[in-house]
Structure 1
Amino acid sequence: MKGTKQFIKRFFLTAFVLFSLAQCAEPQLDQSFRNPIIPGYFADPTIKKFGDIYYIYATTDNEMLASGAPTVWYSKDFKHWYNYTMEIPSLASVNLRNFWAPDIIEHTDGKYYLYFGNCQAGCNIYGYVSDTPVGPWTKLNEDDTPVIPHSYPREGFPSLDAQFFTDTDQKVYAYWGTWVHYNGGYAVGELDTQTMKSMKNAQNIPLEQTPNPFEAPYMLKKNDTYLLMYSGGSCHDETYNVRYSYSKSPMGPFTPGANNAILKSTEDHSVHGPGHHSVLEENDDYYIVYHKHDYPMTRGGLSRQICIDKLIFENDSTLKAVVPSKDGIIDFASTKVPKDLALKASITASSAYHLKSLEYDYTYQAYFANDDNNATMWKAASASFPQELKIDLGKIQKVARVFTQFEFASYYYQYKIEYSTDGKHWEIYADQSKNRTAGSPMIDDKAVEARYLRLQILNTEKTGLYAAVWNVAVYGSLFELPLELKNSPSLAGPASPSTKNLLVNLDIKNSSKTNLNSIPNTGSMGGTFTKNNEVGILTNASDGIKAFDFSKGSFSLEQPVPKSLEWNGSYTVATWVKNPEIGKQGECLLSWCDRTEFYLANSYNALFYNSSNYGAAAHLDGHFDMKYNQLPTSNTWHHIVLTFDGVVEKVYVDGVLDNAQNMTLASAIDKAKISIGASDVGEHYSGLMSSMRLYDYALTAEEITALLKETQPKKGN
């Protein structure tokens, strides 16, 4: 009996110890980890680990040719990432916008050195220094001298996409170059590690040593072999890929790898255009961190996302083909973040955007906001506000923290979160209705009991941005954050809503031959159209239709362009035109942006009628412009309509959808004026026009058909 009691005592003691150890054990791996790893549009990633925190420095994508804010992402578990906008002083000559392909070095002096490319004063690499990996940053050269200047080491060579490699002897080498198939090959040089702000012994790497290159060199060393990895193909499409060559010296010469390309688009295009990478070495394993294009794909590869996959060596000089995945890696790091109560819970939305174009039929469903997938998001049906998401947690539970990851990490969203136990009576959980601080995730803490949570999105910082959410996560307890960082409030915005008006209306029916110097705009903007050079009125002999003749001039409207058309604001341009001869360039029908303010792709919008790649819509770069699939015939009256709803740009010819593309715009209007028959820099239209209309919203296909019938030019009108 005594032995039985001792056994029972030992049994319960052992059980208690095991239970206690289980409670203190390392948390389980989060098996829902998947690609992309970052919720947002970022490219050209540099992955680093400083201490126990991982950092990703990247180009902020999807605006003005990837000229978004200089941000950094950081994480302890490689699952929950936090975004921070870094403080980087501008140049004396220009206000820095380009923060392209950043890299960072933790030097032996204990400081951090940040380098990135910029093309506002020549394509240069600039350098900054800080005591921390996130700044604040100080210029390495107070006089703004680049660390790697344009035309170095050869005249005309663009110094972009620099990556730095510290060898085992502590020498630091840089590798740089873009569009190198046009520019004679990559460049390599040695960084002056005494100052960290200048290069020496630079030379070009002959093209034949890195076949089929494009940009983004990256040096990796395996034992005593140097592998120069790089991106080939074109960053704008599915041909983008990762390749490599190897050498016994960091300066070369290099021998092409055996099985290039080692990372490329999958056959089903679920991974599209992967490239511009860096490598993380962790516990003797290697991981490649790269970007790929979003889905549905934004025109020209404008919206890229960051992924990670395993990188495997066959031997020191041979890399195996990378298997790009949707799932990423699930055995990487443990997390101390508690279970997400909202994961795949019942969720509804006020509306959902249905993207329907020539290429896609895709809906941004409500359940994409709590599927823990950074490749998907919920997006409201239009850019109007308010919009809402409502989550049913299934039962009343303790709620302590809510994470919200909005579409754009570096712009603020104004919102409210409410909670309820019965779905009928609601109380405020977080009131961010006057918020002006960006962040991802937005973190709201409050200890309550709730079954239902309701996110109401009220406005955004930038005009035309939608209520859109990558992920919402709900936690029952608080937990430690990797760093206590918070962005500074913005002084801009909030966004100007669409007026839902016809802004500009020029119609031959409202004009006379004797009063062309002062034609009233009967649209809501008001004002009068002013002639630039000669604009005439003639009646076409072949059809008897009266029209404006723009062969020698144009009209401009001196009224300020409405704020509802700035940035990503929706619009419709509708016109009846007859072009006697269709050229390969020029022929602008309507312009309402200023290309001199930014002169960056997708900051400019105009409707054209020519046969080039920007024959329908111009955005300053052939990779983002839109042509006519079927060029409207010459010497014939056509109804041409260009629409943009904030997501998809479409051109209709005679009521039929001719072309479409996904876009995000950053329209510059502060110095702009509306010009009819010419662009802001000329590009004159040489034909006839009977009417021109501009709206600050997107007409539907049915409304376009009705407008065609209503405004069709007739003999004698």
Structure 2
Amino acid sequence: MNNSLLKNLVLLWLLFVGLAVKAQQNNQPLPQPVIPDYVADPSVVNFNGTYYLYGTADIDRDLKEMGPPVVWASKDLVNWSYKGTLFQGIDWNKPYTYGPEGKKKTGYFRYWAPGVVIKKDNLYHLYATIVKPDARLGTYHLTAKRPEGPFKFSNGSGVFSNQPEKESEETKPVVADIDGDPFVDEDGQAYIFWRRRKAAKLSKDWKTIEGLEVSIPTKRSGYSEGPFLFKRNGIYYYFYTLSGGANYAYAYMMSKTGPLGPFVAPEQDMVFKSDVAKGVWGPGHGNVLRIPGSDNYLFFYLEYGQGGTTRQVFVNRLQFNADGTIQPAQVNTTGIAEIPNLNKNTLIHPVKVTASSARRDTVIKTTINTVIDKLIAMPPKFVETELVSVQRIMDFKPENAIDGSNGTFWMSDNADKEPWYQIDLGTIRRVNSLELFFVKSTLGHSFKIEKSEDGHAWKTVNTPASQVIHSPEVVNKIGKTRFLKLTILSGAPGLWEVKVY
């Protein structure tokens, strides 16, 4: 066989493989993150029939700046919304100056990794990490009369930075570290767990730790964060993370004695790790929810997203063996499909959508260690054969906002100074409401909605401005129309989803 023919056969084979891979990707179900926005470090609880998801508001600005703290609420684990922030008194997106003259720096307050919220004595108790502009940090205790807040600090009036006149009022953290997560045993004794495998009892008022800190020995060593503990059938399960980024993973220990151990490692102690075939990268900092009145346990966790702080929340089941050990999780991006959608409003499906522009496709590349579950010492010593290069191609076409997926979105081009998004219903319909799930919703948006029956004569729909951040943005009583046009005046020019009812 001559070189020319061989070369042509190779090119044809590569083309065939490329088309086959693309076809396979196109046939895969759309990803179904729980929340239509960037959210990390989820903790989900149920109070009085409503689920509440507390988490870190990612805004794609690394860990140096985050969005304000919010809590998403849902009746069915399918339809989620929030309104307002969890507590007042801090401007989360204002740069603060600190340091001595001549060496002044700026930084932001940041809210991270809220633990499971627990109700006691008609109060809701929240433990959350707050990082100050000067990088001092801790896990703080806050309480509220409602799950949505407003929450107030229990150990002082607030968190301050570089303000000596307020030092006497400054709130004290429960622990001077991140990722604090509480657990209350059946006897009423409360505990708190935080990063680097640390744990302690909490005082009766839950405001401080009591006694000595405990270091929990685990099968796998190295840096660890995002810990939590839950109990099932008399067994205490301690979860802790390994590595980070696209190599985030979760292992666990078991105890039949108590929340502080002694713990033992099951033979199969790795429960969550990346699955390249299923498209899950770095299942990391999360928490477990037991569905009330059942033995169903769901694990909510962050997924790598586009890297940095563009993480999203996914959910998969925990399955238990007869001896109480946990089966390695079957992670995927499709979620819990059989959860019923309780939204009975009639959804109008647009015939066509257009936009002023769309951002160019983005290729996200990273490397995943395929044998992280076989490594005991952390950080591991990788060898080249254990590393797999993976990539995602993100597109931002207008159709993404009507595809029913919380994992795709439309975004205008960076150079677009007047971004707009238009919906064609195909014929004149009566529209009761419009729901807009904006990208980076916690930073707030201002916008204009117009309607038209012919696509030429437009009428502005009354959209009163609100200073309260929320998602979705809802516009009611639109009336008869065929076309709807959104013009984004401020805020991130993108939409996860648009729903017309």
Using the size of structure 2 for normalisation, the TM-score is 0.77
Select 2:475's aligned residue among 444, 456, 460.
444
Confirm whether residue 304 of structure 1 aligns to residue 311 of structure 2: yes
* Structure exhibiting the larger radius of gyration computed from Cα positions: 1
Amino acid at match of 1:416: K
Code of the aligned partner of 1:355:
D
Partner of 1:140: 154
- Partner deviation per Cα, 1:155-203 (whole Å, 9 max, x = no partner): xxxx2111111111121111111xx3xxxxx11111113x221111333
> Mapping of 1:105-120 within 5 angstroms?
105-120=117-132
1:98 equivalent to 2:98? Answer no
| Equivalent in the alignment of 1:539 | none
The one-letter code matched in structure 2 to 1:118 is I
| 1:586-625 matches, cutoff 5 A | none
In structure 1, list runs of 5 or more residues that go unmatched.
1-31, 151-158, 181-185, 476-717
Structure 2 CA distance for partners of 1:90 and 1:438, relative to 1, 3 Å: closer
1:240: Cα distance to partner?
Answer: 0.5
Structure 2 partner of 1:416: 448
How far apart in 2 are the matches of 1:448 and 1:243? 53
Cα offset, 1:79, TM superposition:
1.5
User: Alpha-carbon deviations, 1:574-620, whole Å to 9, x = none?
Assistant: xxxxxxxxxxxxxxxxxxxxxxxxxxxxxxxxxxxxxxxxxxxxxxx
Letter aligned with residue 325 of structure 1: N
1:348 aligns with 2:354: yes
Question: What displacement does 1:398 show?
Answer: 1.6
Deviation at 1:96, TM superposition (A): 7.3
**Which residue of structure 2 aligns with residue 63 of structure 1?**
61
AA at the equivalent of 1:169: D
Instruction: Give secondary structure in 2 for the equivalent of 1:390.
Output: strand
Structure 2 segments unaligned to the other structure (5+ residues): 1-28, 92-96, 99-106, 157-168, 366-391
Residue 201 and residue 411 in structure 1: after superposition, are their counterparts in 2 closer, same or farther (change >3 A)?
Answer: same
| Residue 336 (structure 1) aligned to one of 331, 340, 343 | 343
Contact 1:69 1:97 (C-alpha < 8 Å) held by counterparts: no
Question: 1:64 Cα shift?
Answer: 4.8
Q: Distance in 2 between matches of 1:371 and 1:224?
A: 44
SS of residue paired to 2:401: helix
CA–CA distance in 2 between the matches of 1:33 and 1:361?
13
Shift of 1:416: 1.4
Shift of 1:396: 2.2
- 1:637-716 pair list within 5 angstroms: none
Larger relative contact order (C-alpha < 8 A, sep ≥ 6)? Answer: 2
> What CA distance in whole angstroms lies between the structure 2 residues aligned with 1:397 and 1:384?
30
Deviation at 1:266, TM superposition (A): 1.2
The 2-side partners of 1:288 and 1:56 are apart by 12
| Closer/same/farther in 2, CA of residues 202 and 306 from structure 1, 3 Å limit | farther
Q: 1: CA distance between counterparts of 2:281 and 2:346?
A: 32
Does residue 265 in structure 1 map to residue 296 in structure 2? no
Whether 1:217 aligns to 2:231 is no
Q: Distance in 2 between matches of 1:358 and 1:325?
A: 19
Letter of the aligned partner of 1:256 in structure 2?
A
How many aligned positions are there?
Answer: 415
2:400 to 363, 368, 372: 368
Contact between 1:89 and 1:139, CA under 8 Å: does it hold in 2?
A: no
Q: 1:246 touches 1:317 (CA, 8 Å); kept in 2? A: no
Superposed CA RMSD? 2.6
Deviation string for 1:325-371 (max 9, x for gaps)?
A: 222112224403413213x6421112111135695654311100111
Name the structure 2 match of 1:489: none
Quote the Cα distance in structure 2 between the aligned partners of 1:443 and 1:39: 15
| 1:253 match | 262
Amino acid at match of 1:74: A
Deviation readout 1:527-562 (Å, 9 max, x if unpaired): xxxxxxxxxxxxxxxxxxxxxxxxxxxxxxxxxxxx
Say whether the 8 Å CA contact 1:211–1:256 is kept in structure 2. Answer: no
Q: 1:361 and 1:170 mapped to 2: Cα distance?
A: 49
* Residues 1:136 and 1:357: Cα distance change in structure 2 (over 3 Å): closer
Q: Specify the SS of the correspondent of 1:455.
A: strand
Check conservation: 2:129, 2:180, Cα contact below 8 A.
yes
Q: Secondary structure of 2:128's match?
A: strand
Distance 1:358 1:317 in 2: 39
Distance 1:269 1:325, change over 3 A: closer
Residue 379 to residue 145, structure 1, CA distance change in 2 (3 Å): closer
Q: Write the distance in 1 (CA, Å) between the matches of 2:180 and 2:393.
A: 39
Matches of 1:314 and 1:176, distance apart in 2: 28
Amino acid of the residue matched to residue 404 of structure 2? D
TM-score (norm 1): 0.55
Cα displacement (A) at 1:448: 0.5
Partner of 1:165: 183
- Residue aligning to 2:368: none
Shift of 1:274: 0.8
What amino acid is the match of 1:442?
Answer: E
Q: CA–CA distance in 2 between the matches of 1:435 and 1:105?
A: 28
Flag the 1:372–1:356 CA change in 2: closer, same or farther, 3 A.
Answer: closer
Instruction: Give distance in 2, aligned partners of 1:69 and 1:243.
Output: 30
Q: Counterpart of 2:141? A: 127
TM-fit CA distance, 1:46: 0.7
SS at structure 1 position matched to 2:460: strand
SS in 2 for 1:368: helix
State percent identity of aligned pairs.
Answer: 28
**Structure 2 CA distance for partners of 1:175 and 1:263, relative to 1, 3 Å:** same
